[in-house]
Amino acid sequence: MINSLLRRSSLSIALSLAAISTANAGSITVYTALEESEIKSYLEKARVDLPDIQIDVLRLSTGDLGPKIVAESKNPQNDVVWGWAVTSMINPKINALLEPYKAKGTEELAESYRAADDKWFATTGYMAAFCVNKEVLKQANLPMPTSWEDLTKPIYKGEIVMPNPVSSGTGYLQVSALLQAKGDDEGWAFLNKLDKNIAQYTKSGSRPCKAARVGEYAIGVSLAFSALQSIEQGYPLEMVIPSEGAGYELEASGLMTSSKNKTDAKRFLDWTVSQNATELYTQYKSIVTIPDAPQSKPAKEAGLPADISTVLYPVDFVKSAGERDTILTKWQSVIAR
């Protein structure tokens, strides 16, 4: 009888504790433009480190995420923006929806990787690169391109695929960097010349590399980390950083003012700067802003310099953000197809 009462008492206590745990569990909604493969990896670790938080994630392309956030601005549906292009994050319509929060560890980031008012910070970034299929080049008797200028040569006509800047943040960073480097008139003349060789514009920034690695095209104007992953997986690719310098983008995160669960939203943002998160970033990112983050083995083997600042074009992010609508409107009227 006593044993029976003890068992029932223990069960009652266990159920009560479970109920308390469930009641205390938080739930946050995160909007992101990170690639699906890396999101899965990050969340597996985040859910181990933050077991009491239910993390619901909506992933959209960089170009699609902005309009959604703006459309929901009177009744925001997310708590956090995670890993989204900083040129989109500093858009006044978006920035006005963010609440300053200095995530733990962001004090170690360089000033250029965090907002002065703490509305955003960037732990990672991505840079442009050409994914070049060596076997396709050999079959077509084509030389290895080394620059953007090379891609305008008639010999590459129909052999290049590139992301559309309207839908892809990767596409926009490439176009924006070229326009900043060459100036408006010369830059648009160059883009029109390049367009003659482009076989297809894709919605995704990683898609051109995936198309090149399986031999659909010789050259995919894409991302460095897509090239690194493809090379590591055994595809016959060479990663080429254009000699003019690679355009790049920072991936920013921030807290929504409207969040109804700011405690857990802040804990998640803190996690994104943690050592556990950093160790994962190096598996996917060509740019990790957290000090002393190790360079990945694939990056070393593919020839990416340890100091990537030596191959990056010095992008003016404020200028890039301010000109975004103008550039994309002109792109749609002049080049879009």
Residue 224: both structure tokens together: 């460095």
* Tokens 């992101």 sit on residue: 32
Residues 160, 199: Cα–Cα separation, whole Å: 6
Per-residue model confidence as pLDDT tens digits over 65-82: 999 999 999 999 999 999
Q: pLDDT tens digits for 238-260?
A: 999 999 999 999 999 999 999 99
d(CA 235, CA 95): 41
Banded model confidence at residue 24, pLDDT cuts 50, 70, 90: very low
Q: How are beta strands 160-163 and 198-202 bridged, if at all?
A: parallel
Report the pLDDT value the prediction gives residue 25, as an integer from 0 to 100: 61
Task: Name the one residue in this structure whose structure tokens are 């409207």.
Answer: 258
Other beta carbons within 10 Å of 316: 14
What pLDDT, on the 0 to 100 scale, is given for residue 336? 78
Which residue, 219, 218, 281, 224, is CA-closest to 247?
224
- The domain spans of the chain are 2-125+249-295, 126-248+305-334
The rounded distance, in Å, linking the Cα atoms of 254 and 121 is 7
pLDDT confidence tier of residue 10, bands split at 50, 70 and 90: very low
List pLDDT tens digits, range 142-191. Answer: 999 999 999 999 999 999 999 999 988 889 999 999 999 999 999 999 99
- Tell me how far apart the alpha carbons of residues 83 and 261 are, in angstroms, rounded to a whole number: 19
Please report how many Cα atoms fall inside a 13 Å half-sphere around the Cα of residue 225, on the Cβ side: 23
CATH architecture, domain defined by 126-248+305-334: 3-Layer(aba) Sandwich (3.40)
E strand spans, the chain: 26-32, 53-59, 80-85, 98-99, 121-133, 160-163, 198-202, 219-223, 237-240, 248-256, 287-288
CATH of domain 2-125+249-295: 3.40.190.10
Let me know if the fold of 2-125+249-295 is the same as that of 126-248+305-334.
yes
Task: Decide if 130 contacts 221 (C-beta within 8 A).
Answer: yes
- 280: which 2 tokens? 């994962």
Strands (E) in 42-197, as ranges, are: 53-59, 80-85, 98-99, 121-133, 160-163
pLDDT above 60 for 18 = no
